[in-house]
């Protein structure tokens, strides 16, 4: 099917259907399809809260989701006795990275940990691999922007 025909079909989909296809194209890293879908999505003008506010508030929710899912997956691996020493060391990495990211973002770490449902868990920041901490700190900061 030619690109023009595909675009015509994308234009007949609902916005939710377009969003589903867009998400799937992201997962496949299909830049051509991403562009084709975006070309057919209706553009609307509306009022919203300040863009910086929206980006930061959404970004902080994403940080809590990334941190929480990583934290709880790692805790599950420890409980399953799968490389417990390595996974405890990784908890120190992600906890230290979160502490650093929250400091740089000027956000209370307890707010992020509460949203991630980790607020009652001990914060493990001792003996973390500093190279990995820097990598995860940057990832969390980038997620919040």
Instruction: Name the pTM for this structure.
Output: 0.77
CA dihedral 27, 58, 49, 104 (to 10 degrees): -130
Measured distance CA(108)–CA(78) in Å, rounded? 27
- Read off the pLDDT band of 145 (50, 70, 90): confident
Task: Give the tens place of pLDDT for each residue, 64-82.
Answer: 999 999 999 999 999 999 9
Q: DSSP alpha helices (H): ranges in 1-108?
A: 3-10, 15-28, 31-40, 51-79, 84-105
Percent of the chain with pLDDT strictly greater than 70: 94
Average pLDDT, the chain: 92
How far apart CA 140 and CA 62 sit, in angstroms, is: 9
pLDDT in tens, 2-50: 656 566 688 889 999 999 999 999 999 999 999 999 999 999 998 999 9
- The Cα 104–Cα 106 span in angstroms is 5
């Amino acid at each position: 099917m030619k690109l023009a025909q595909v675009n015509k079909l994308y234009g007949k989909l609902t916005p939710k259907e377009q969003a589903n296809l867009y998400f799937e194209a992201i997962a496949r890293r299909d830049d051509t399809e991403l562009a084709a879908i975006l070309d057919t999505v209706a553009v609307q003008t509306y009022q919203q809260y300040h863009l910086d506010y929206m980006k930061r508030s959404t970004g902080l929710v994403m940080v809590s989701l990334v941190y929480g899912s990583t934290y709880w997956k790692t805790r599950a691996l420890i409980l399953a006795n799968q490389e417990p020493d390595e996974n405890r060391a990784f908890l120190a990495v992600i906890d230290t990275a979160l502490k650093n990211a929250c400091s740089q973002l000027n956000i209370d770490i307890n707010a992020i940990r509460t949203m991630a449902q980790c607020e009652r868990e001990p914060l493990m920041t001792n003996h973390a691999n500093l190279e990995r901490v820097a990598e995860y700190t940057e990832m969390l900061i980038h997620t919040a922007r």
